[in-house]
Amino acid sequence: MFLCCWLALTALIPLTLSTNPGVKVKLTAKGLEYGRQLGMVSIQKKLKTIKVPDMSGKQRVSPIGKVKYSLTNIQIVDVGLPTSALDLVPGTGVRLSIAKAFINLHGNWRVKYLRVIKDSGSFDLKVSGLTVTTSIAIKSDETGRPVVSTVNCVAKVGSVSVKFHGGASWLYNLFKKFVEKALRNALDKKICTLVGDAVTDLNPQLKTLNVVAKVDKYAEIEYSMVSAPAVTKASIEFGMKGEFYNIGKHQEPPFTAAAFSLPPETDRMLYIGLSAFTANSAAYVYNTAGALSLDITDDMIPRGSPIRLNTRTFYVFLPQLAKRFPGLMMKLLVRTAKAPVVTFEPNKATVEASSTVTAYAIQPNATLSPLFVLNMETSASARVFVSGMRLAGAVNLNKMDLTLGKSYVGDFQVRTLNSIFQTVLKLVVIPILNVQLAKGYPLPALGKMNLVNTQLQVLKEHVSIMVVSEAPCSRSRSLGAVSQCPTVPLREL
């Protein structure tokens, strides 16, 4: 008793100490239904591979005495699985129930009795009213990928009826019950094994979960599960790390994931929630990698713009430039001073960044003469969208505040430069940033799956992606989370 409680307690400890997931994926009963359809195809295929071994032996049949018999070349002719259900079992996984299944077999029979009399023919065997009930446990493997296994499989054959062709009917009618029983036993043993195989055949597909997804030359994102999947009666929820790292250097940021909840509804097939933590770990990684910096030169400013990046532009605000750096081209170095901060509130995604802008005059011999350093606080609103299996974004500048960091050219009113720098941000920095953001960041995915019919909502602390409904599929099977049948990760099911 004590031991059992102690074991139960120690089993709980890793869960309570585990980190909050940065990304959550919720698979609903609707999503499972899609899986069931594919799963049944796989089970049917498996059952068609049943090999019933040849059987032979002796049976005493009165009044003729011992009959030597053999049943050979037993083949599956047809397997039907008209009724099945996949139900969620809270705390465990799912339960697969198959009912009214049937298997038709064909084989040859041969008998020998009274030492010399031989007889042979063929037979058809109908196995009907077959039920299979099995629980499928869903766990996390050592790499943080989901893994499924069957537990408690029970298969029951409803009725078995054999029909012999050829030979003496009086004989095989004496025999019938025995054959039925032998074949029923042979099948009883195999069905659960084959259903179990069909289920574990899923694991190679589940192993394709991109637990480490490369983003670009700076970053990768980790999607390993941080805890066992949580199964309720309406859904299975997977908690994943959802954290960006510098490639090859897994340094933790100075903040951790806050708990967040996916929307409680379960009417869509699949929900993916990405937390502000995930977005902020990205910001941290790119900032640490020094990737959030940009050299701006005049050629990057669109031709039609009234603002040119030369000292002349600044004469009005900084007359000193006219004297010391007359008619020189300029260069601006914009770089983040610390990692930008992303916040998600209902219908509102915001990115706040603190940067420095260093302005240089470019001497005719290409030497850069520093003019001034500005501190720039910016706030941008972000639009987030799904593009294939990637989450992409675009930002729009809302607010910019400049203060003087350092001047090499004497005092000046920084405020007067606001419109120049706003224009530079809008014409150069934001478009370049948006090109990067539009490339997107990989979402958790299996194989080559593709999300279609998605809706995205910015909610408190996270972005929720909903896979709305079933999508058409070229193979005419209705599909949901995946658009192209040939690349369905579960296609082998």
Ligand X SMILES: *[C@@H]1O[C@H](CO)[C@@H](O)[C@H](O)[C@H]1NC(C)=O
Q: Return residues touching ligand X (CB under 6 A).
A: 363, 365, 367
Q: How far is the CB of 332 from ligand X (least distance, A)?
A: 20
Measure the CA–CA gap between 352 and 379, rounded to whole angstroms.
4
Burial of 46 (0-12, 13-18, 19+ CB in 10 A): buried
Q: Which is nearer to ligand X, 368 or 473 (CB)?
A: 368
Q: Which is nearer to ligand X, 69 or 325 (CB)?
A: 325
SS3 of 324, please?
helix
Q: Which is nearer to ligand X, 37 or 310 (CB)?
A: 310
Residues 6+ apart with CB under 8 A from 63: none
Whose CA is closest to 255, among 339, 353, 380? 339
Provide the angle, in degrees to the nearest 10, between the axes of the packed helices 29-48 and 169-200. 140
Measure the CA–CA gap between 231 and 29, rounded to whole angstroms.
11
Q: How far is the CB of 361 from ligand X (least distance, A)?
A: 9
Distances (CA, A) of 221 to 243, 246, 353, 380: 5, 9, 22, 24
Q: Can you name the residues that pair with 361 across neighbouring β-strands?
A: 330, 369
Amino acid at 121: G
**Residue 165, phi then psi, degrees to nearest 5:** -125, 140
Residues 6+ apart with CB under 8 A from 390: 439, 440, 441, 442, 443
Q: How far is the CB of 367 from ligand X (least distance, A)?
A: 4
Strand duo 235-240 + 212-214: pairing: unpaired
Q: Which is nearer to ligand X, 62 or 367 (CB)?
A: 367
Q: How far is the CB of 370 from ligand X (least distance, A)?
A: 13
CB count in 10 Å sphere of residue 177: 11
Q: Which is nearer to ligand X, 324 or 383 (CB)?
A: 324
DSSP assignment, residue 453?
S
Q: How far is the CB of 366 from ligand X (least distance, A)?
A: 8
Q: How far is the CB of 357 from ligand X (least distance, A)?
A: 23
Q: Which is nearer to ligand X, 88 or 362 (CB)?
A: 362
Q: Which is nearer to ligand X, 10 or 365 (CB)?
A: 365
Q: Which is nearer to ligand X, 361 or 465 (CB)?
A: 361
Q: How far is the CB of 364 from ligand X (least distance, A)?
A: 7
Q: Which is nearer to ligand X, 16 or 367 (CB)?
A: 367
Q: How far is the CB of 362 from ligand X (least distance, A)?
A: 10
What's the farthest any 2 CA atoms get from each other in the chain? 128
Q: Which is nearer to ligand X, 347 or 365 (CB)?
A: 365
Q: How far is the CB of 405 from ligand X (least distance, A)?
A: 23
Q: Which residue is nearest to ligand X (CB)?
A: 365
**Could you give the angle at the alpha carbon of 240 between the alpha carbons of 237 and 242, nearest 5°?**
135
SS3 of 65, please?
strand
Q: Which is nearer to ligand X, 132 or 329 (CB)?
A: 329
User: Cis peptide leading into 254, omega within 30 of 0?
Assistant: no
Residue for token pair 């004989």: 171
SS3 of 493, please?
coil
Measure the CA–CA gap between 140 and 425, rounded to whole angstroms.
46
Q: How far is the CB of 287 from ligand X (least distance, A)?
A: 32
DSSP assignment, residue 302?
-
Q: How far is the CB of 365 from ligand X (least distance, A)?
A: 4
Measure the CA–CA gap between 455 and 109, rounded to whole angstroms.
61
